Structure 1
């Protein structure tokens, strides 16, 4: 379907009839608000957008409309054509630029190419969803708990139902949201995340619903909210349990009928957004104590998914540890056998987040040896602050090893401060450039 957004009745009538004659479905809108509403109600495959429409009739102001139609290709049309305006339109996200009066042959070619691009984008998204294996989901693990979670995601993703992801902190709830979005028909549309506890309560409404110019002090321009940005896609509400009570009411209205009202607006707008929410809190308990609305809870829990703790998927710990080490060292480091035993036997109350931080820290502190960069149990224990259970002689490094570790750390810190400029780093450390390079070679830092 093509959305034709233009305020000239004659152009609407003639161009709309001409496009229908080519076999296209056409929806017509006469101003920016109507175009946004039409796209929200039924996202088009292509948008033909006149930049100079009400209420401003200013091509520069019309540029702000372009992102509202993401990811559909937008072809802008204007009678105020110039090179600078065309560049601004492309920078704002337009796919092509046509000057009025529009040449019919040129328009036919542009429309055909834009629709072909949209078709190919949909096919790629479908193929990705069909071939989306466990690695594409980002949910690594062979344990029964993870296999069950991935299977549920595949069943949930194609539906329109909201999803509620529950689980302890650090278990990858955002990864689950991303996997749901990637395997859904909305994969070509945006996935927009927001942490409900990280945004001040007085700003959360504007952040979600947007605001109009002049609606409050400092609102110098219209600003779309995250719901408008996510139109046609998925909105991920992380830590939904932290949402203030006043915002819970407004979110409930949006979940009920898809309508929302930007701050300062007099009329509601519509958006087609799938909600995936997550929290580590006990929401039924929050409902019982009155800090979370019961009706919102039941709206959100269309489908409930639970992310397992590492205690529930202990067999995945060595696999996850190896993956984190490979990524952080770019494949240059390895675990000693005692290191994998150590991570498997230890409990991880901070779950995957704690495990990843420990591996990354241990890799940064490890000392290169004859076999390359090896990360041992002692490195991991030091990284997490665990007291050694073995005699100090077998756990702590020798004085030479401690000095080498300190020297390595100082060089890495100095390289970071100087942007990896060897001359400046050597000067800061009181070394010659050749001396610094020799040390970096010996430590495997080049």
Structure 2
């Protein structure tokens, strides 16, 4: 999502070689920032540099390896391609294991350089887009309702007024759209935020609780425990008719029977959630209850009606998953981006959250029968998905032993690490999961 053109920063102390490499890259269509030494490059390459770095290894003052280490501390997602002499190969391999993108041995084929730079810039594009999405999601997260679609903007703008109005509400929407979350945002934004928001799961309430605890005059399970706060009636359309009758009476009188003759008054705000009328049927909510609840009716649209919000939501959910699982946030591949755009998300935000969890865990998020249709994905994305699945399968078959997996795949070690990095496979996450699961990659 960055608007700045992607660039190649070239650091080479040999003037003739620097000019030759810069010309090769420019003829291939890349913008080039050329530097004769590492210090001036360090002054310009901050964490938001819109491009990648190509650097020689042997240079005065600060070597290419040292430059790579300094930039890695600033921005671990910045791809660095090292140019090495034959005597520096072992050093470059160590840097590759530490996170360098690639290394080229002098003299190198210009086409090899262009191919490596092209792939590195593709990855950098994705990383910068992810960063922009996360920043936007974090900004939206302050309001709690993430998205920039017209419907979400309208709902977000209504929250302060609804919170202050202190009237009963009905929030309608498909399963997984976040109705409970919107209800709590309204509760937390009003004067009742210091008191309890008590949730009643209407679809799963046993008869014994309906007749006893819920409408008792005392007790933590009674509606009296929400006095001064909010009563959140979740899935009111799934409530049995007897419960609906009792709730209609509660809302009408704002009281429960006392132990004596006098009822016990309760100061309550009532917010109910329900499926949309087309899903639940017109008779699912008793009219006497519906009319009392629906002073204001809000609708949370499904994700398929606000596709422009999916990237922002996904970035927010993936960041939450990474923090919760103590894992690195991976870079989005083209295959993942294609799935985010084209999938209908029938499970809405809940399904999207599960998708983010799988991605952060290092599992194939497009597996388990939810792969994006091949026709919607370009050939390189399908190849990447195949390679990633093959590497993860080899690691699973060898119980996570990298050496054995490399042998099974039949590729050089350097190629293995290069593809692991390019495809966003986090070996550390897989290793941690292996410690607690005999088959962590399933």
TM-score range, shorter chain: 0.5 to 0.7
- CA distance in 2 between partners of 1:355 and 1:404 (Å): 26
Rounded to whole Å, the distance in 1 between the matches of 2:146 and 2:302 is: 13
The aligned counterpart of 1:349 is 346
In structure 2, C-alpha distance between the alignment counterparts of 1:315 and 1:302, rounded to whole Å: 30
Distance apart, 1:204 and its partner CA: 2.7
Contact 2:330 2:359 in 1 (8 A): no
Show the 5 A alignment for 1:39-438: 134-210=140-216, 223-261=219-257, 267-282=262-277, 286-287=281-282, 289=283, 291-330=284-323, 332-338=328-334, 339-366=336-363, 379-383=364-368, 385-386=370-371, 389=374, 395-397=385-387, 399-405=390-396
Whole-angstrom distance in 2 between the partners of 1:270 and 1:359? 45
Closer, same or farther: CA 174–407 of 1 in aligned 2, 3 Å: farther
Structure 1: distance between partners of 2:316 and 2:263: 47
Bigger RCO of structures 1 and 2 (CA < 8 A, at least 6 apart)? 2
- The Cα of 1:141 is off from its aligned counterpart by 1.2
TM-score between the two structures when normalised by the length of structure 2:
0.53
What's the Cα RMSD here? 3.1
Distance in 2, matches of 1:310 and 1:259, equals 39
Unaligned regions of 5+ residues in structure 1, if any?
Answer: 1-132, 212-221, 367-378, 411-438
Q: Counterpart of 2:367 in 1: which secondary structure?
A: helix
CA distance in 2, matches of 1:442, 1:244: 46
CA distance 1:384–1:210, change in 2 (3 Å): farther
1:162-187 alpha-carbon deviations (Å, 9 max, x no partner) = 00000111100001100110111111
Cα distance change on mapping 1:176 and 1:400 into 2, 3 Å: closer
SS at match of 1:180: helix
**Which string of whole-angstrom CA distances, capped at 9 and with x for unpartnered residues, describes residues 19-68 of structure 1?**
xxxxxxxxxxxxxxxxxxxxxxxxxxxxxxxxxxxxxxxxxxxxxxxxxx
The Cα shift of 1:404 comes to 1.6
Deviation at 1:283, TM superposition (A): 8.1
Asked if 2 retains the 8 angstrom alpha-carbon contact of 1:236 and 1:276, the reply is: yes
Unmatched 5+ stretches in structure 2: 1-138, 402-425, 434-442
Shift of 1:364: 1.7
1:274 is displaced (CA, Å) by: 0.2
Does the C-alpha gap of structure 1 residues 443 and 353 become closer, same or farther in structure 2, counting only changes over 3 Å? closer
1:33-44 equivalent positions in 2, closer than 5 A: none
Does the 8 Å CA contact 2:400/2:431 hold for their aligned counterparts?
no
Pairs aligned (count): 261
Are the structure 2 counterparts of residues 408 and 147 from structure 1 closer, same or farther at C-alpha, using a change threshold of 3 Å?
A: farther
Please, which moves more after superposition, 351-360 or 401-410? 401-410
Residues 380 and 170 (structure 1 numbering): CA distance in 2 closer, same or farther, change over 3 Å? same
